[in-house]
Amino acid sequence: MQITKDKAKKHIYATNGKIFSAVFIKKDGERRLMNCRLNVKKYVKGVGRKFKPSDKGLIGVFDLQKDQHRFINLNTLESLKINGVEYNIKNEDK
């Protein structure tokens, strides 16, 4: 199913802590498949971030394979799999 980046962001936040998969391009150009979830409080130090992730097109998630907090870049997001449904992200540059 084809969706926009805004719709993808809404789908991610609607997971409410359930596990989902995301495929995106990392900063170094490598494609990455991440199994992750939102709202994980483990390993949080309570210091806070020095920037607002949404201003940079990022969503903070917990990577279940690395057992660490990571960011998904919405600008390079290619696909999502939530509750067994695969969503391909439309390229809005065209």
Selected residue with higher pLDDT from 77 and 57: 77
Cβ atoms of residues 8 and 74 within 8 Å: yes
Instruction: State both tokens at 38.
Output: 């939102």
Q: How confident is the model at residue 46 (pLDDT cuts 50, 70, 90)?
A: low
Reply yes or no on domain 2-41+53-89 having CATH 2.30.30.
Answer: yes
Q: What's the whole-model pTM score? A: 0.82
Q: How far apart are CA 41 and CA 83, in angstroms?
A: 22
Q: Is the pLDDT of residue 14 over 70?
A: yes
Q: Where are the domains of the chain?
A: 2-41+53-89
